[in-house]
């Protein structure tokens, strides 16, 4: 954890301000608004940290917001980066209590991102939800290479939110698509009517971030029947087109309260996604299905996924795809 924050410190500028709050046993302020170029001062504060005691996460978060409010920069990037295993056991530790606290504080323009550390007592779902409700993002740090990826290579995406409450709605053309299934994102699904409801909280997108959602689809063919009755009063104007789906996106600016709408038609012959990216994403999704013992993973095996990933690795300047392939090979051995 110390080395992770030192990597971030290396990227700070003179105009940046840094405070450090601890919450083991009792919460406390160990560094108060140091300038970003006072790197030795920040390093020293990090080196003096020691793990121990119970986890007063609620009090620590409250103190962090109080300090951030005191040094708030108008028009700046005001953010708390919480390092935790998510196992809060002292003070405001209930799920609902922490969510309410963070939802209230985000109104001030201070966003919360979460870095997960540790093993065994990890509460991954808790940390992801804290970040979601704090208008930030969540990453699990298991190695220094992952820390470099999150806080150095992808620093702008991690720390600079360009759109909040981002919602995506996909409408498939029933004359082209017989049936479909969203792979993953079970904890992100919203009711259809919530798409146009600006009071419903949704996810945030950082600068340079890309989000990939995969669908498994069955195209319409002669002889296929649906388990759902055809809609009597609905007619389609796209009956003879090659439209596959329409993707609609709603988002708010970081300071805004009213959403804006974008839409894009996807056709059967769309080539906007590079084939190597598409096939590599298939390997990643397949890996998740094997790990979760998905009922839809029939016929999938590690050897197949490894071959797909290797064939679609493409340009891998940071080595992330090679690391994924090694992970697949390790999982196969295990």
Which percentage of the chain shows pLDDT scores above 90? 39
Task: Tell me what the mean pLDDT of segment 264-276 comes to.
Answer: 81
Residue 234 has pLDDT above 70, yes or no: no
Which of 159, 177, 192 is at the close of a domain?
Answer: 159
Residues 96 and 200 in one domain: no
Residues 18 and 120 in one domain: yes
Using left for φ > 0, alpha for ψ between -120 and 50, and beta otherwise, residue 91 falls in left
Residues 140 and 7 in one domain: yes
Residues 241 and 125 in one domain: no
Banded pLDDT at 206 (limits 50, 70, 90) = confident
Residue 222 has pLDDT above 70, yes or no: no
H-type alpha helices, 177-319:
275-291, 302-311
Two structure tokens written together for 257: 């309260």
pLDDT digits (tens, 9 = 90+) for 65-82: 999 999 898 888 899 999
CA 199 to chain centre: 21
Residue 90 has pLDDT above 60, yes or no: no
Residue 283's Cβ-count burial label (10 Å; 0-12, 13-18, 19+) is buried
Question: C-alpha angle 283/210/299, rounded to 5°?
Answer: 15
Residues 194 and 289 in one domain: no
CA 91 to chain centre: 27
Could you give the number of structural domains in the chain?
Answer: 3
Banded pLDDT at 303 (limits 50, 70, 90) = very high
Which of 138, 159, 180 is at the close of a domain?
Answer: 159
pLDDT digits (tens, 9 = 90+) for 130-142: 888 888 888 999 8
Using left for φ > 0, alpha for ψ between -120 and 50, and beta otherwise, residue 90 falls in beta
Contacts of 227 (CB under 8 A, 6+ apart): none
Q: What is the domain-level CATH number for residue 88?
A: 3.40.50.410
Q: What is the pTM of this model?
A: 0.76
The label of the residue with tokens 């009063």 reads 233
- Residue 36: what pLDDT? 92
Given a contact cutoff of 8 angstroms between Cβ atoms, the answer to whether 306 and 325 are in contact is yes
pLDDT digits (tens, 9 = 90+) for 18-61: 999 988 756 688 999 999 999 999 999 999 988 776 665 677 88
Residues 151 and 170 in one domain: no
In angstroms, the CA 174 to CA 171 distance is 9
Cβ of 291: how many Cβ atoms within 10 Å? 10
Q: Reduce the DSSP state of residue 207 to 3 states and report it.
A: coil
Residue 193 has pLDDT above 60, yes or no: yes
Q: Mean pLDDT across the chain, nearest whole number?
A: 85
Which of 113, 132, 159 is at the close of a domain?
Answer: 159
Secondary structure of the chain: what % helix, strand, coil (to 5)? 35, 25, 40
pLDDT digits (tens, 9 = 90+) for 158-171: 788 888 889 999 99
- Residue 301: what pLDDT? 94
Residues 62 and 152 in one domain: yes
Residues 255 and 290 in one domain: no
Residue 92 has pLDDT above 60, yes or no: no
Residues 148 and 235 in one domain: no
- Residue 282: what pLDDT? 92
- Residue 88: what pLDDT? 65
pLDDT digits (tens, 9 = 90+) for 97-155: 778 888 888 888 888 999 998 877 677 777 888 888 888 888 999 888 889 988 888 88
The label of the residue with tokens 């392939």 reads 325
Two structure tokens written together for 310: 């290797």
Residues 144 and 78 in one domain: yes
Residue 87 has pLDDT above 80, yes or no: no
Two structure tokens written together for 164: 């909040």
- Residue 236: what pLDDT? 61
Two structure tokens written together for 175: 């004359």
Residues 232 and 299 in one domain: no
- Residue 89: what pLDDT? 56
Residue 233 has pLDDT above 60, yes or no: yes
Dihedrals φ, ψ of 22, to 5°? -115, 160
Structural domain boundaries enclosing 182: 163-267
H-type alpha helices, the chain:
2-9, 39-47, 57-70, 95-106, 124-133, 144-148, 155-159, 275-291, 302-311, 320-333
Banded pLDDT at 326 (limits 50, 70, 90) = very high
Count of helices and strands (H, E) across the chain: 10, 11
Residue 238 has pLDDT above 70, yes or no: no
Given a contact cutoff of 8 angstroms between Cβ atoms, the answer to whether 213 and 181 are in contact is no
In angstroms, the CA 125 to CA 127 distance is 6
Residues 49 and 73 in one domain: yes
Q: Which of 74-88, 146-160, 227-241, 242-256 has the lowest mean pLDDT?
A: 227-241
């Amino acid at each position: 954890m110390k080395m992770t924050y030192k990597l971030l410190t290396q990227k700070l500028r003179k105009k940046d301000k840094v405070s450090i709050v601890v919450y083991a046993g009792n919460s406390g302020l160990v560094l108060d608004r140091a300038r970003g170029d006072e790197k030795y001062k920040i390093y020293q504060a990090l080196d003096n940290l020691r793990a121990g005691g119970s986890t007063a996460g609620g009090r620590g978060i409250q103190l962090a917001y109080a300090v951030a409010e005191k040094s708030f920069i108008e028009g700046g990037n005001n953010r708390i980066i919480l390092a935790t295993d998510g196992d809060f056991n002292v003070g405001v530790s209930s799920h609902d209590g922490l969510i309410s606290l963070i939802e209230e504080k985000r109104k001030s323009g201070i966003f919360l991102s979460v870095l997960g550390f540790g093993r065994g007592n990890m509460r991954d779902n808790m940390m992801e939800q804290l970040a979601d409700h704090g208008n930030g993002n969540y990453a699990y740090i298991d190695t220094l290479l992952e820390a470099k990826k999150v806080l150095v290579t992808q620093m702008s995406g991690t720390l600079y939110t360009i759109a909040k409450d981002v919602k995506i709605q996909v409408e498939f053309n029933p004359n082209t698509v017989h049936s479909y299934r969203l792979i993953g994102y079970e904890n992100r699904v919203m009711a259809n009517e919530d798409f146009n409801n600006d009071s419903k909280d949704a996810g945030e997108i950082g600068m340079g971030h890309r989000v990939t959602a995969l669908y498994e689809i069955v195209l319409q063919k002669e002889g296929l029947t649906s388990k759902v009755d055809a809609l009597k009063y609905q007619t389609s104007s796209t009956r003879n087109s090659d439209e596959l789906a329409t993707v609609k996106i709603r988002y708010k600016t970081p300071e805004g309260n009213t959403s804006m709408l974008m839409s894009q038609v996807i056709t059967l012959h769309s080539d906007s996604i590079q084939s190597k990216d598409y096939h590599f994403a298939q390997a990643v999704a397949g890996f998740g299905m094997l790990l979760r013992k998905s009922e839809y993973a029939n016929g999938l095996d590690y050897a197949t996924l490894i071959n797909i990933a290797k064939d679609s690795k493409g340009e891998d300047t940071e080595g992330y795809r090679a690391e994924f392939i090694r992970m697949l090979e390790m999982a196969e051995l295990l």
